[in-house]
Amino acid sequence: MRELRGATVVITGASSGIGRATAEAFAREGARLVLVARDPDAIEEVADGCRDLGAETLAIAADVTDAVAMTEVAQQAAEFGSGIDVWVSNVGTGAVGAFHEVPLEAHEQVIRTNLIGHMNDAYAVLPIFLEQGHGVFINMISLGGFAATPFAAAYSASKFGLRGFAEALRGELIHHRDIHICDVYPSFVDTPGIAHGANYTGRELSAPPPVLDARRVADAIVRLSVRPKPTTMIGAPTALIRLGHAISPELTTRAMALFLESYFRRAPQAPIDSGHLFQPPEHAGGIDGGLRSPAQRTGVAGLALGLGALAVVAVALRGRR
């Protein structure tokens, strides 16, 4: 596509955070939108905002973990827009805590949402892409697709799995040059997502700086729709952690574990609960999560830089050997 005006774009997980920011960004480009989330009132509110921006918008309440529902979403979207040009598979969640202390059903729900949900999206839309001969499927992954996240084992499994799934799809589609599978790997993003996830640590959760504005991620997604490419990294920590993990996975995983253990020791106490793993939040929460305070921007910003430095040291040691 040379422009997005009139293009049909489906966005899952569009009720808050990156999904909502992406919906608004596409609306400003004049795209025709199909917005999907679990809560009907929340997704209708986002749709109203996009209509105010001039975009034809259809809101659908559906859960990505339901394969039949997502096939129906794809059919509705194709009828609404005479085909589907872009599908943004954005839904994601997490459960934080020591693996053996997190209920197994919480781990399973994270896998169902972050991995199976994206597979359901792709399974629903790929036949449409193949029939019409073009389409862009955009996977929202995260830096967790490149390096393990201790105390979020199911999240790590889902993101590693999602990266492998996307690479396999690209291999299957090599003879369809106008169908693109694009992966997006942002570093930590300021959204309500952390508040919506499950917390079994007994401590308040936050994100290490630098924390990205969700609108920056949304802008990158819009650019990918016009100029697709397989891998898009957003934020310096993603590139540094990817490099560090590629050179010494054990070193970067150990550094991350020690960092998180230190954080949990110092963080204020918080109740243990399942968040909104199993049901939508009462209030979607908008785009921002309130994580980009001045203290967070400067307090522990050395984590990613430290991992990058470790990677450089590992390279030097290997070279000397």
Report pLDDT for 2.
73
Pull the structure tokens for residue 116: 């199976």
Single-letter code of the amino acid located at 224: L
Residues labelled catalytic = 155
Taking the chain (321 residues) in runs of 10, the rounded mean pLDDT of each run is 90 97 98 97 97 97 98 98 96 96 97 98 98 97 92 96 97 97 96 91 88 96 97 92 90 90 92 92 87 54 48 46 48
Confirm or reject CATH 3.30.300.100 for domain 8-320, answering yes or no.
Answer: no
Pull the structure tokens for residue 123: 């399974």
| Best CA proximity match to 55, nearest among 1, 19, 14, 5 | 5
Question: Could you state, in order of their start, the residue ranges of all structural domains in the chain?
Answer: 8-320
| Best CA proximity match to 56, nearest among 111, 115, 6 | 6
Report pLDDT for 1.
66
| Best CA proximity match to 48, nearest among 65, 62, 35, 61 | 35
Cis link prior to 280 (omega < 30° from 0)? no
Backbone angles phi, psi at 75, to 5 degrees: -65, -45
Single-letter code of the amino acid located at 257: A
Burial of 185 (0-12, 13-18, 19+ CB in 10 A): buried
Q: How many CB atoms sit inside 10 A of residue 103's CB? A: 14
Task: Report yes or no on whether pTM surpasses 0.85.
Answer: yes
Q: How many CB atoms sit inside 10 A of residue 171's CB? A: 9
CA atoms of 251 and 255, how far apart (whole Å): 6
Report pLDDT for 310.
47
Report pLDDT for 294.
55
